Structure 1
């Protein structure tokens, strides 16, 4: 490849990563959560990688790629689950983690570069008596840019919703042209850049709304009856008296995989993991008693985000522990109907038995509290997995398919026609993370 030697000559042997082991590492994310994606993506690898240390250097890299028509794939920490950061056509992986400036802008806003790790940002904010609204369970590693491009919600979503719910003030993106432009976007225009797998422009800077710091205490509430755990969680999630950052429900045997919690877990009992304002703990006791729950483990607010964190066992971290310590386990992303949740769960259990193990995260979407679900699934085959997905649809359980790397095919309403138009304007040669978007024909055929 002539371009690769020219790239090395221009940016230096110390900066351009060609070592196969390092290239492999920087070409992968957590795609292996899905056995389907694992088979499709395991052999994909970039021709080289580079980690720019400035916006100017990033512009030079992009300009080189456009002149030589080389594919580029942006990367944060690689904690995404859908192959978002995996290069399908080789080329250059751009590791953005060295773009890590943080700039506090008063009490309500923080401006950060895309490579800032959310864990570092949250710690910095809390030292200044502020905190993030939402962040993923992978926040200790995940970057701001990676979360915006590949995520949707997480810890804090019970209070603030997901990324689309006014939780991003603006983004600055770099276009993929011979002379790259910097565009600062806010309002409705940001929809083309959130959860887009970095396909419409390189996010280089983000402004996020921030909030006053709360003293969060963490709790595990144990239940013999999973239905009671759900009822408890639903009432807690809707309670306006108890300020919450996390309400996560796992039926047994999912908690059996949480090895760091082994000393406190109870065989056969389902759990609800919580982060609540320490001022509300007395109210939690009463609510737990109402549903025959027992608050069996507490991490006080003074130890929040120090050492063991219950958020490390929630959201897709629950899947991670199950995958690590179970046999052939994967997951789905589902949305149950609040007024039919027990009926829908019973239908699934009747049809598939313990192939499906229930896990819910209570979140707010456009002001409505809903039980989002990340059920753990025993994997038998791709055909069986899609049989489960199809059955879910017949009983009106919505599925966002995490076993595809094509944006929009997972089920999110991404307004794909508008996104493709923005892609054409910002990346006219289709060099930015190519292969992750459906074609215009597929958008029309599948009504994406």
Structure 2
């Protein structure tokens, strides 16, 4: 466990100032509260679990608006106390742990929805994604994307997330989703830096190491009439083939997920989820439902249920990305499982070889922006065995991102340059930027997604495809990405 090196007198002085600023109820030094604020979903990784506990906060603060967030960051700066920002802590594997002690700044009480405009929504960083989706729906719109845990905060999603429901069309959350941010910076006086466009993207997926997102403006689009579809398949290969076909529907699905029989058996009981077959779930535009049903039937599948409404779509979302692995682990307590984030058409085209990389391997699959991504799970036999599989997967043409580490994992040089300007004392989420030489990261960014979209590249235009060239069918995009070396 990393021990706090913060001087007790600095913590005490900060505590007193924060009580004056926020009130007694919004600051705590209670041991149990500090322990709860010092954990995230790191237990999803058996490799990280073996290293826990990794840190313990000295204080926890809950500012209730963007200005208070800036004031808390400033106070921590003046007292020289490290600060780890936090939303709900969902989906983070160590990134939300205060490894140097100090202050945990919990943004979840700063949840105001400031404005719903035409094509955008502005909220404070603690607003939940489901609240934003509901507010957008009241205005006849929808958010571009939200993570698999729709109860996550927008600040947490932008700081530590990557994609989710809506990513088939819009890619990762650093690919144009954000239009503006107000970022709290460590300074003598409370400072909110307003950034827009490309400058705003540089703060996305940086784990709060260069600034604390206090307020965000993200894109909306006209609301669509969505249907949540559940289907079963006797085998995984036809389910994968149909997932690939559904990616190409027009309008595109908001989400398509598929699981092997073994993973499906561990999902929560539901009439739409088979107990002895493979599961496919999708959020589809109502106008494509008939075509999707035909594709499923032609692939040997059976539609088990179709449901309407935002809450039903959220339920399907809660069975995507790493959630099926959570259920696999929870409902198989006698086995310790690990998973690796993977991506590429090889997940479909070479599935038997992919499964064979790890004994007992099983894949959760997602249709994504340029090519499928997924979570490859298997029984855990040791960290070295996990790492030994990475080059084998890469040889198959599979992108690999390791969830068994907590370091900022892309645009490192840009983030280091940014942090040198915004946090020269290194107080913001220390220990998460600059992986040591022996850290095993894989060969891809979060969720095995593509890297950031270059400046000037239209959102949705495949990286490496000349600007102005028509965007083809999503499978053509994936093929081009693979041929141009984006699998590495």
Check whether TM > 0.5: yes
| Helix, strand or coil at the partner of 2:72 | helix
Q: CA deviation at 1:384?
A: 1.4
| Superposed CA offset, 1:289-333 (max 9, x none) | 22111111222x2x4315982222111111111121122122110
1:33-432 to 2 correspondence within 5 Å? 33-140=44-151, 142-240=152-250, 242-261=251-270, 263-299=271-307, 301=308, 303-305=309-311, 309-326=315-332, 327-336=335-344, 338=345, 340-354=346-360, 356-364=361-369, 369-408=370-409, 414-432=410-428
| Superposed CA offset, 1:408-435 (max 9, x none) | 2xxxxx2211110110110010000001
- The answer on whether the counterparts of 1:62 and 1:178 sit within 8 Å (CA) in structure 2 is no
Distance 1:290-1:320 versus aligned 2 partners, 3 A rule: same
Q: CA deviation at 1:154?
A: 0.1
Structure-1 separation of matches of 2:282 and 2:313: 16
TM-score normalised by length of structure 1? 0.90
Task: Name which of structure 1's ranges 161-170 and 87-96 shifts more when overlaid on structure 2.
Answer: 161-170
What is the aligned counterpart of 2:430 among 434, 437, 442?
434
| Superposed CA offset, 1:158-197 (max 9, x none) | 1221112211111111111223432222232233211111
Structure-2 separation of matches of 1:195 and 1:173: 13
Q: CA deviation at 1:243?
A: 3.7
What is the aligned length?
429
Distance 1:343-1:248 versus aligned 2 partners, 3 A rule: closer
Q: CA deviation at 1:439?
A: 6.4
Structure-1 separation of matches of 2:135 and 2:188: 37
More helix by share: 1
Q: CA deviation at 1:385?
A: 1.1
| Superposed CA offset, 1:25-56 (max 9, x none) | 11111111101112224242100101012334
- The answer on whether the counterparts of 2:230 and 2:303 sit within 8 Å (CA) in structure 1 is yes
Q: Any gaps of 5 or more consecutive residues in structure 2?
A: 1-7, 445-488
Please give the root-mean-square deviation of Cα atoms over the aligned residues, in Å: 2.2
- The answer on whether the counterparts of 1:108 and 1:210 sit within 8 Å (CA) in structure 2 is yes
| Superposed CA offset, 1:369-405 (max 9, x none) | 3101112222121111112223212323110110001
Q: Any gaps of 5 or more consecutive residues in structure 1?
A: 409-413
| Helix, strand or coil at the partner of 2:47 | helix
Structure-1 separation of matches of 2:188 and 2:284: 50
Distance 1:131-1:60 versus aligned 2 partners, 3 A rule: same
- The answer on whether the counterparts of 1:223 and 1:293 sit within 8 Å (CA) in structure 2 is yes
| Helix, strand or coil at the partner of 1:229 | helix
- The answer on whether the counterparts of 2:230 and 2:304 sit within 8 Å (CA) in structure 1 is yes
Q: CA deviation at 1:268?
A: 3.4
What is the aligned counterpart of 1:9 among 16, 23, 30?
16
TM-score normalised by length of structure 2? 0.83
Residue 411 of structure 1 aligns with which residue? none
Task: Name which of structure 1's ranges 386-395 and 66-75 shifts more when overlaid on structure 2.
Answer: 386-395
Task: List structure 1 segments (4+ residues) > 6 angstroms apart after TM superposition.
Answer: 439-443
| Helix, strand or coil at the partner of 1:305 | helix
Task: Name which of structure 1's ranges 62-71 and 153-162 shifts more when overlaid on structure 2.
Answer: 62-71
Distance 1:17-1:225 versus aligned 2 partners, 3 A rule: same
| Helix, strand or coil at the partner of 1:121 | helix
